[in-house]
Amino acid sequence: MDAQNNIILSVQGLKVHFPLTKGIAKKQIGYVRAVENISFDVERGKTVGIVGESGCGKTTTGKAILRMVKATEGSIYLNGQNLLTMTPREHDQIKRKVQMIFQDPYGSLDPRQKASSIIREILREDGAHHTAKELDDEALRLLTMVGLSEEIGERYPHEMSGGQRQRVGIARALACNPELIICDEPVSALDVSIQAQIINLLTRLQKELGLTYLFIAHDLAVVRHIADTVYVMYLGQFVEKMSSDEMFSSPLHPYTKALLSAIPVVDCEVEKTRKRIELSGEVPSPINCPSGCPFHPRCPYATDICREKMPDREVAFGDHEVACHHYKELLPVKQP
Ligand code: SF4
């Protein structure tokens, strides 16, 4: 099957604007432009990463796909069906196909239920008739699949470690037999050693079950280990798209370079000599987005055209795309 026919999720021209209101009368005085005209495809069995600083719109993108927030414009196709034009009844029938793994597994699990009970409840909601024994067996199978024992299945969330809770969150997502899993910062609340275990688990499950992931994170090093393709997001827009290897070997956009500069390098000699791009100032407010290139107030390479005109995202080479007026002049393109 060619890549085009193998697209499971296609997001086209997605905008999410939240109205900004004032006073008791809730008079609308503007918008928060959380997501601003983004398009991307996710191929079946692959992982697409979205990276960016906190507040860049990546989590809102995930929530729009799940219809947890209302899209202002655009289309979101799952297996060719537009999720945004479906009736609530139609959406109910397919929503189990897209699941989310949350950053804070503790907050997303019912504290009054044991792990096995949480899984059984999700299994029971699939509409088919299950005997109690079938539910018990399937819950145990899923818990085992994510590396948890029957004994841990009898614990409440507060009796588990962070890593164990995240494994329960993954088992709960798998209980819906999903085609796409949106992983929203799934390891950022965990210790580094546990992060690696969860990433390895997600990678193994993807291979075994043919899962497709949309992986949202602020940590580029984590995304590198799991994503095939990465989109860098800034103020609700994609500024660069590339393979995860190219993100490290030949980043083009100054913002991607700045994010990479912030990752510590273990080798002291490399750390001493490498060139850093320091980001000045804070991310501007999505209520008052800067004119032209949204990155220009913080970009060390900004010129007049950057302040006036939004750069188009263009192909630099292969599948590598970048939205920057000056990437050719300022940033030597190193072919991978
Ligand atoms: Fe910097 Fe200009 Fe490129 Fe924007 S378009 S990233 S301001 S050089």
Which string of DSSP letters, residue by residue, matches 153-192? HTS-GGGS-HHHHHHHHHHHHHTT--SEEEEESTTTTS-H
Question: Residue 335: what pLDDT?
Answer: 46
Count up the domains in the chain and report the number: 1
Whether 231 is in a domain gets the answer yes
Question: Residue 169: what pLDDT?
Answer: 95
- Cβ(169) – ligand 1 distance below 6 Å: no
Question: Residue 98: what pLDDT?
Answer: 96
Give per-residue pLDDT as tens, 191-236: 988 999 999 999 999 999 999 999 999 999 899 999 999 999 999 9
Give per-residue pLDDT as tens, 28-60: 888 899 999 999 999 999 999 999 998 899 999
Question: Residue 75: what pLDDT?
Answer: 97
Query: 154 — phi, psi (to 5°)?
Result: -95, 10
Whether 154 is in a domain gets the answer no
Return the ligand 1 atom nearest residue 311 CA: 5
- Cβ(311) – ligand 1 distance below 6 Å: yes
Query: What is the distance in A from the centroid of ligand 1 to the CA of 40?
Result: 22
Q: Residue 234 belongs to what H/E stretch?
A: strand 229-234
DSSP reduced 3-state for 250: coil
Task: Check whether 26 has a pLDDT greater than 90.
Answer: no
Give per-residue pLDDT as tens, 163-185: 999 999 999 999 999 999 999 99
Give the Cβ contact number of residue 170 at 10 Å.
25
Q: What is the mean pLDDT of residues 115-121?
A: 95
For residue 289, the enclosing domain spans 7-111+179-330
268 exposure class (CB count in 10 Å sphere: 0-12, 13-18, 19+): exposed
Q: What is the mean pLDDT of residues 227-247?
A: 96
- Cβ(277) – ligand 1 distance below 6 Å: no
- Kindly report whether the global pTM for this prediction surpasses the value 0.85: yes
Query: What is the distance in A from the centroid of ligand 1 to the CA of 261?
Result: 17
- Cβ(323) – ligand 1 distance below 6 Å: no
Q: How far is the CA of 44 from the CAs of 79, 82, 95, 165, 284, in angstroms?
A: 10, 17, 17, 27, 35
Return the ligand 1 atom nearest residue 325 CA: 5
Query: 300 — phi, psi (to 5°)?
Result: -70, -10
The CA-based angle 263-267-273, given to 5 degrees, is: 80
Tell me which residue has tokens 């950057």. Answer: 306
Whether 37 is in a domain gets the answer yes
- Cβ(279) – ligand 1 distance below 6 Å: no
What are the strands of the beta sheet with 7-22, ordered from one edge? Answer: 27-43, 7-22, 73-78, 81-82
Q: Which residues lie below 8 Å from residue 81, measured CB to CB, with a gap of 6+?
A: 94
Q: What is the mean pLDDT of residues 148-166?
A: 94
Alpha carbons 146 and 168: distance in angstroms, whole number: 8
- Cβ(118) – ligand 1 distance below 6 Å: no
Whether 30 is in a domain gets the answer yes
Q: Which residues lie below 8 Å from residue 26, measured CB to CB, with a gap of 6+?
A: none
- Cβ(254) – ligand 1 distance below 6 Å: yes
Whether 171 is in a domain gets the answer no
- Cβ(298) – ligand 1 distance below 6 Å: no
Alpha carbons 255 and 257: distance in angstroms, whole number: 5
- Cβ(295) – ligand 1 distance below 6 Å: yes
What is the token pair recorded at 287?
Answer: 């209520």
The residue count of the chain comes to 336
DSSP reduced 3-state for 75: strand
Alpha carbons 191 and 164: distance in angstroms, whole number: 12
Query: What is the distance in A from the centroid of ligand 1 to the CA of 81?
Result: 36
Return the ligand 1 atom nearest residue 293 CA: 4
Query: What is the distance in A from the centroid of ligand 1 to the CA of 311?
Result: 8
Give per-residue pLDDT as tens, 261-281: 877 665 566 556 666 666 777
Whether 149 is in a domain gets the answer no
Whether 117 is in a domain gets the answer no
Return the ligand 1 atom nearest residue 294 CA: 4
Tell me which residue has tokens 């000599």. Answer: 273
- Cβ(297) – ligand 1 distance below 6 Å: no
Task: Check whether 101 has a pLDDT greater than 90.
Answer: yes
Band (336; pLDDT cuts 50, 70, 90): very low
Write the residue with the smallest CA distance to atom 5 of ligand 1. 324
Share of residues in the chain with pLDDT > 90 (%): 72
Question: Residue 5: what pLDDT?
Answer: 75
Comparison of pLDDT for 15 and 286, the residue scoring more: 15
- Cβ(331) – ligand 1 distance below 6 Å: no
Average pLDDT, the chain: 90
- Between strands 73-78 and 180-184, the pairing is unpaired
Q: Quick one: which of 107, 27, 11, 25 has its CA closest to 61?
A: 11
Task: Give the number of C-alpha atoms closer than 13 A to the C-alpha of residue 130, restricted to the C-beta side.
Answer: 17
Whether 53 is in a domain gets the answer yes
Residue 281's domain is classified under what CATH number?
A: 3.40.50.300
Alpha carbons 202 and 36: distance in angstroms, whole number: 30
- Cβ(293) – ligand 1 distance below 6 Å: yes
